[in-house]
Structure 1
Amino acid sequence: MSDVDPALARAVGYALTGGDPAPTGPAIRPEDLIGQLGGTERVRAHAAAVRAAGEPWPHPVPPELRSGLGAAQLHAAIERARQQIDPPPSRPVRRAAAPDADDLRLLREVPPHHGD
């Protein structure tokens, strides 16, 4: 992943922890940001506690931290970080079924003007 600028890192950090962590350096890798927030397990425990209390997680980012950031950029960065903390469950890959008689009939049908 590419580095994240400090303003975006602060906003993502707030979304993950509800606090205002100040990342160090001019740019930070997302993995390092989670490390600065206490690591995956700490953020995961925080998320579980917030959800158990019926609150939203990731936390809504206040306007002053969103200022100057694109909404899509912020959402994508939060989602990438959230997936590192709370990965989505894997789903089995479904194999395509062989076409049945109806499918084959539809595949043979062509409009009247086709092929003229």
Structure 2
Amino acid sequence: MKEIKAYVHASRIADVIAALKDSPAWGGDRLGRRHNLAVYVVKGSLLALDSDEKHYSMDLGDEIVNEYKLELLCEDGEVEALTAALTAAARTGQAVAGWITVIEVVSATPIH
């Protein structure tokens, strides 16, 4: 099992979630399980697409961009399709418009 984490611009988040859900790798398995997707607003350091994205954080003492962090658990064989969907939907035209990381999950225990 893997965990995919992605940091994307706020203006791309709706398209990213739609692309993930449209991906063939997103569908539930025979037990009806679906992927666990968590989405957070984070203060990050992506380059702002425009002046509306720029904010100054008094706590951090620097200019920040409100961006979204997605966390998604998936099976090993689904990583390539899901990261491809993320990459295509999060694209902004900038040289670096976010990051996607994939991490090995040692254990995932369902709570019943």
> Taking structure 1 as the reference length, what is the TM-score of the superposition?
0.26
Of structures 1 and 2, the one with the larger relative CO (CA 8 A, separation 6+) is 2
Point out the structure with max Rg over C-alpha: 1
Higher-helix-fraction structure: 1
Higher-strand-fraction structure: 2
